[in-house]
Structure 1
């Protein structure tokens, strides 16, 4: 069987990066694919670029819509996908040329496979560290392993996984995965006003519950552009705490509704605690004065829900540098937390 792959690419003001992204698609060694470019109200000429690609390549479709945010663009692409297999690609990122070929081969070799996951490279320019999400060896996850090791991970880390808190969100991304389109057709990404940047994690938390066999291929790489200063991950978000709490509530309700039990509850509790790093990073990204940043961090560390989660975080399982960091969070040492976070931000290309 020759599987057709649908590649959904949301586009918003990425004229500088889109050509590299599209070249990586058009140079794939596997050619049975369709590209769905969703221009989400770009104002920098990205929309015109999409039209030019659609004119020049019969495999490419350009869709234009009013700006509705990343989830809305992905949802439009998802609704228009006609392939057997589906994957997402961000418009400032790019793929290795053999990505589709190797992933499709995995489906052909194991016809009961529901999803293929592959690692990514964080592109900082001078440093390009590889992120092996699930190790450096090929692996098949079956049934209970899919549930207990993959699906549960969207809820949070448990046991020895908390050793490296930076790994908390490595599996969450919409990209870096290929799966049967039919398994996702009735799912939709939640608006960022409700759930913030966790929209991909919540989508995957629902999606992975439908998988029985997942293949992890460590030799297929996705290039994650960490140099795009306009990316939402580099901007201050004054809604982050509210939307992240909404996400945690979605996960908590899901655990109850599906009777997932204590392992999932522990994972979510650890997620709440470990997310403190993201909250503080966000505050440091703001334009507030140093004194005001300290005040905001102090207020954050006094949050009842966060304090409860930090009190139960198994500090002894964390890598030493993170054990110190989260102990400072637990003890509400705002200056220490601010200083360590500032340092972690400057070393983030090396921290794994």
Structure 2
């Protein structure tokens, strides 16, 4: 077997409905060697782990590791430790890779020796398929700037050097929902040579009701607040024209996180204290509009929690209706 160039890492949790399609896509690559598939079963309560073991018995490139549930951020760190490839490619358990993904990535590595490679993505959401604009190679500083605004904030749309991951640890407050955004910034800031592949090579399913993006709790919005607050402080040094945008997003995330925590009781006291302090701090930034958020911020600061609880319950019920609709659509397929 030739040296492993690319490690595909797949964190798996409660993905029984999707994992076969995902694994089929990575074991049937047109590139027959040069890659491995690292599957981390993060304590799945369904049959996801058993299905992964089944593929490991059939395909020598698949290596499965089981663990008690640690969350996706820590699972990714473990995946990097297990990986032997020089480059890392991420595939979510409910998504799939184009059959030529690894072939295209290896070819671009051979041609350019880039340390980060972007490729196109196709999205499917509630039966609607859209193709994101094919990435265009731009000056390094412009691509870094786009990573700050969230343009390139998903890890499954890029291949990167494994070395870039070593020593990196996602902050605790971003573990639930912002690990992609945080790590993508680290990767773009480390990269010296970025290349693009002008093809759709990844297929993302956006309507899995069990995915994190379809949750609505304090931890989810804590991550949302934290990543935008982190971006805000980067912009104060390097991208001053983006300050207002980042501040507004951080402000909204903080209000939602605190309001949701009043219902779900899922944020420790240290995070609630951080949110309060940040809301005081964010008032010094130019935050346009967002009258609802400003009102809820005033309520939080003055400990008038009734409107915050009403808002949190409203958002939870709205998401529940949305998830029921998605589930019913899946049942009718």
Query: For the residues of structure 1 that align with 2:186 and 2:107, how far apart are their CA atoms?
Result: 26
Contact 1:115-1:178 within 8 A present in 2 as well: yes
- Structure-2-length-normalised TM-score: 0.74
Equivalent position to 1:90, from 92, 98, 103: 92
Residue 39 of structure 1 deviates from its aligned partner by 0.5
Deviations 1:47-81 (A, max 9, x none): 11111111111101000111010011111101111
Gaps of at least 5 residues in structure 1 are 157-168, 289-299, 314-325, 347-352
Query: For the residues of structure 1 that align with 2:291 and 2:115, how far apart are their CA atoms?
Result: 42
Q: Residue 166 of structure 1 aligns with which residue?
A: none
> Which range moves more in the overlay, 237-246 or 120-129?
237-246
Q: Residue 207 of structure 1 aligns with which residue?
A: 187
Deviations 1:152-211 (A, max 9, x none): 33333xxxxxxxxxxxx34111211112222323323344x4553111211122222211
Query: For the residues of structure 2 that align with 1:15 and 1:330, how far apart are their CA atoms?
Result: 38
Contact 1:37-1:60 within 8 A present in 2 as well: yes
Q: Say whether residues 1:231 and 2:211 are aligned partners.
A: yes
Contact 2:5-2:106 within 8 A present in 1 as well: no
Q: Number of residues paired by the alignment?
A: 291
Q: 1:277 to 1:220 in 2, by over 3 A?
A: farther
Equivalent position to 1:153, from 146, 157, 161: 146
Query: For the residues of structure 2 that align with 1:205 and 1:155, how far apart are their CA atoms?
Result: 6
RMSD over aligned CA atoms reads 3.7
Q: Residue 163 of structure 2 aligns with which residue?
A: 182
Gaps of at least 5 residues in structure 2 are 264-275, 298-306, 323-333
- Structure-1-length-normalised TM-score: 0.70
Q: Residue 132 of structure 2 aligns with which residue?
A: 131
Q: Residue 199 of structure 2 aligns with which residue?
A: 219
RCO higher in structure (CA 8 A, sep ≥6)? 1
Deviations 1:271-319 (A, max 9, x none): 2313566678889999x8xxxxxxxxxxx9xx545554453x6xxxxxx
Query: For the residues of structure 2 that align with 1:232 and 1:17, how far apart are their CA atoms?
Result: 15
Q: Residue 292 of structure 1 aligns with which residue?
A: none
Q: 1:239 to 1:214 in 2, by over 3 A?
A: same
Q: Residue 172 of structure 1 aligns with which residue?
A: 153
What SS does the aligned partner of 1:107 have? Answer: helix
Residue 99 of structure 1 deviates from its aligned partner by 1.5
Residue 151 of structure 1 deviates from its aligned partner by 2.2
What SS does the aligned partner of 1:128 have? Answer: strand
Query: For the residues of structure 1 that align with 2:254 and 2:55, how far apart are their CA atoms?
Result: 39
Residue 327 of structure 1 deviates from its aligned partner by 6.2
Q: 1:173 to 1:268 in 2, by over 3 A?
A: farther
Contact 2:147-2:188 within 8 A present in 1 as well: no
Residue 31 of structure 1 deviates from its aligned partner by 2.2
Query: For the residues of structure 2 that align with 1:119 and 1:3, how far apart are their CA atoms?
Result: 24
Query: For the residues of structure 2 that align with 1:130 and 1:275, how far apart are their CA atoms?
Result: 28
Query: For the residues of structure 2 that align with 1:308 and 1:123, how far apart are their CA atoms?
Result: 40
Equivalent position to 1:72, from 67, 74, 77: 74
